[in-house]
Amino acid sequence: MKKFLTILLVVAMLIPFAALSETYNLATAGSDGELSITMGTNAEFPPFEFVEGEDVVGVDADIAHEIANDLGLTLLISNMAFDSIIPALTSGQIDMGIAAMTVKEERLLSVDFSEPYYNARQALIVKVGGSVVDAETLKDKTIGVQNGTTGDYAAEEYTADVQRFGKALDAVLELQNGKLDAVIVDEPVAKNIVAALGNPDLILLDAVAFEDEFYAIAVAKGHPELLEAINATIKRIQEDGTLDAILLKYFPTEE
């Protein structure tokens, strides 16, 4: 990435409403000298982030565009493995991590989080007629997860036999093929995958309850002005109906 620019330039030229004074990972994008902000994500988690044509789209991408627009910047999106996002933040390769990322104590040791923008929980996908019917029968089973996600942590509470995949979809396909007993993944993603596959033998099992969790945006520690600007956008889109419109766009059947 090109040489970092001071946020003071942005304050002077582009962002009259934000007192962003620290230097963070702003890069010059394109020959016209436009300043950009880079979002790191893992585009394997529809409907929050996925690839459509040549673009990364989804709930999180739309939110990132709102942040960039409020800052007067061009949005760049870096698609990477989920467990590479926090290292990319701490090394300065990206500015913000937006990837249906849950606020967790161990993550707070490395990065700071914005205010939450989505309340979600984990879901359990099983096969009809399989051996998993409740929390008790889930114990010591082979559980598939997307590597580094909250589902990964949740699975470890039930079994030592956790099979990790780069994509949540790959885990569900292994379940479909009879190689796993269950898959734990974020509920909206689980619903999306099950609906897309259209396999009546795959169901979400309500008998295993998971706690609510909250998605937020991660930034490298030591950048309070950037975090403040992100929080301002989150507050705006929550209050003016933009976030509801984004969610309705990707969850047309959800309340």
Asked whether the predicted pLDDT for residue 20 surpasses 80, the reply is: no
Average pLDDT, the chain: 86
Question: Does the residue 2 lie in any domain?
Answer: no
- Same domain? For 171 and 245 the reply is no
Q: Does residue 97 contact residue 48 with C-beta atoms inside 8 Å?
A: no
- Same domain? For 133 and 155 the reply is yes
Question: Does the residue 139 lie in any domain?
Answer: yes
- Same domain? For 20 and 34 the reply is yes
Question: Does the residue 58 lie in any domain?
Answer: yes
Asked whether the predicted pLDDT for residue 164 surpasses 90, the reply is: yes
Q: Whole domain around residue 47: which residue ranges?
A: 7-117+216-250
Q: What is the CATH number of the domain that holds 109?
A: 3.40.190.10
Question: Does the residue 87 lie in any domain?
Answer: yes
- Same domain? For 11 and 62 the reply is yes
- Same domain? For 12 and 113 the reply is yes
- Same domain? For 45 and 169 the reply is no
Average of pLDDT values for 201-209? Answer: 90
State the pairing for strand pair 27-29/202-204.
unpaired
- Same domain? For 199 and 228 the reply is no
- Same domain? For 133 and 111 the reply is no
Average of pLDDT values for 162-173? Answer: 94
Q: Tens of pLDDT along 71-88? A: 999 999 999 999 999 999
Bridge partners of 57, per DSSP, are: 50
- Same domain? For 18 and 89 the reply is yes
Q: For tokens 């709930």, what's the residue? A: 59
Question: Does the residue 20 lie in any domain?
Answer: yes
- Same domain? For 40 and 58 the reply is yes
Question: Does the residue 157 lie in any domain?
Answer: yes
Burial (CB < 10 A; 0-12, 13-18, 19+), residue 255, is exposed
Average of pLDDT values for 182-210? Answer: 90
Question: Does the residue 205 lie in any domain?
Answer: yes
State how many domains the chain has. 2
Which residues are CB-contacts of 247 (< 8 A; sequence separation ≥ 6)?
59, 118, 254
**Residue-level pLDDT at 30:** 52
Q: Tens of pLDDT along 135-150? A: 999 999 999 999 888 8
- Same domain? For 16 and 113 the reply is yes
Strands, E, within 128-217: which ranges? 143-146, 162-165, 182-186, 202-204, 212-215
Asked whether the predicted pLDDT for residue 212 surpasses 90, the reply is: no
CA distance 146 to 63: 23
Q: Tens of pLDDT along 101-113? A: 999 899 999 999 9
Question: Does the residue 91 lie in any domain?
Answer: yes
- Same domain? For 105 and 11 the reply is yes
